[in-house]
Amino acid sequence: MTETRRAGFGLSLPDYPWNAMAPYVQQASNHADGAVNLSIGTPVDPTPEVVQQALAAAANAPGYPTTQGTDALREAVANWFARRRGVPDLDPAAVMPTIGSKELVAWLPTLLGLGAGDVVVRPTVAYPTYDVGALLASATPVAADNLDELDDDTRSRVRLVWINSPANPTGIVRSKAELAAVVEQARAVGAVVASDECYAELGWGTWDSSRGGEPVPSILDPAVADGSHQELLSVYSLSKQSNVAGYRAAFTAGDPQLIANLINSRKHAGMIVPFPVQEAMRAGLDDDAHVEAQKGLYRSRRERLLPALRGAGIQVEHSEAGLYLWGTAGEDTWTTVGRFAKAGIVVGPGTFYGEAGAGYIRVALTGTDERIDAAVQRLQSVPVTSD
């Protein structure tokens, strides 16, 4: 049956970009040892026992959960910010669980009351859902890494500024000084700053706190926020740190008034995180050991994959944090994607992340040790060069 849409119904959103990958996934699957899919970045390691046990213990949940989250969860989030993110003064009342972080990214402009004529700024190379969220609210998405890049009219209409640090896909980490500059610019025009910090526990090199580096800074850090969380939101997901992408476990925190308004709107819309998931989040945030263990796995995979990519002619840029390696072979994105597919490896096209991503690919660290080793071997034995 051919699907039809009646006139006047439906949103004019871009096609879901990953659908374009189907032929490359199929080509990679033809490899004798199967495909190594390092494109999307879905966690593959087991969910930690401490999280699974908390979920199971809370399985008897006959009543409705609260939209704002349990007191225990909100306390756990505040304690986590103090212990892991350098934010000692977060009010637990200024915390709200969300159904994964993507839904908040997509719906925040709408929940903030944005509409036609309002501008949502996102990084020049960015996760496409920032644009989709603006479009859902009938606002205008604009790509910029600094508000000084905008003309006066556009700048005057900015109502929401998205920061993504560590960034997907580039792995760029913004320093406290850089974050503070964005906060100052946004406050000058009355805009909210929402900082997507989902990869904050996965810093490498100078940002690897497990190896003596500096912790990745948060938008709520006192040195960034200038003594006030007003008009600031930090967005975080446990998907990466705790392998719970299937739980849809995330939260936002920051400005108490913004959080209160978001909670009220979400109560009306029924946007509620299930109680067992809230308990799993609480347990995951209280336990640092499993986070360090998982980071060790990703560090090992990164240290094996990085030189193999460079040996295959990929110039890796940035990538100082997160689950991805961002690089270029100095050619068209899809040419590189196609050559990797011939070698049985699926990578993400940089073009999915905006015009500035043209010529780049994103390679995820989220393969099992066996699949990462297979990718390394294929990159060594199959010349990944233009035909």
User: Are 280 and 347 in the same domain?
Assistant: no
User: Are 169 and 228 in the same domain?
Assistant: yes
Domain that holds residue 133: 60-286
- Average pLDDT, stretch 205-231? 96
Q: Give the C-alpha separation, 157 to 173, whole Å.
A: 27
Looking up residue 269, the CATH number of its domain turns out to be 3.40.640.10
| 235 has pLDDT over 90 | yes
- Average pLDDT, stretch 314-324? 97
Residue 13: the pLDDT is 73
User: Are 26 and 146 in the same domain?
Assistant: no
Residue 2: the pLDDT is 33
Give the pLDDT band (50/70/90) at residue 6: very low
Residue 9: the pLDDT is 58
Give the pLDDT band (50/70/90) at residue 384: low
Give the pLDDT band (50/70/90) at residue 387: very low
Can you say how many angstroms the Cα of residue 218 is from the centroid of all Cα atoms in its chain? 14
Residue ending a domain, among 244, 270, 286, is 286
Residue 267: count of CB within 10 angstroms of its CB: 13
Q: Give the C-alpha separation, 253 to 234, whole Å.
A: 5
Looking up residue 335, the CATH number of its domain turns out to be 3.90.1150.10
Domain annotation covers residue 241: yes
Residue 8: the pLDDT is 55
| 220 has pLDDT over 60 | yes
CB 171 within 8 A of CB 324: yes
User: Are 302 and 157 in the same domain?
Assistant: no
User: Are 344 and 202 in the same domain?
Assistant: no
Strands (E), 205-293: 232-237, 249-254
Domain annotation covers residue 143: yes
Domain annotation covers residue 8: no
Residue 7: the pLDDT is 45
User: Are 150 and 190 in the same domain?
Assistant: yes
Residue 40: count of CB within 10 angstroms of its CB: 12
Give the pLDDT band (50/70/90) at residue 4: very low
% of the chain exceeding 90 in pLDDT? 91
Domain annotation covers residue 53: no
Residue 129: the pLDDT is 95
Domain annotation covers residue 348: yes
User: Are 216 and 344 in the same domain?
Assistant: no
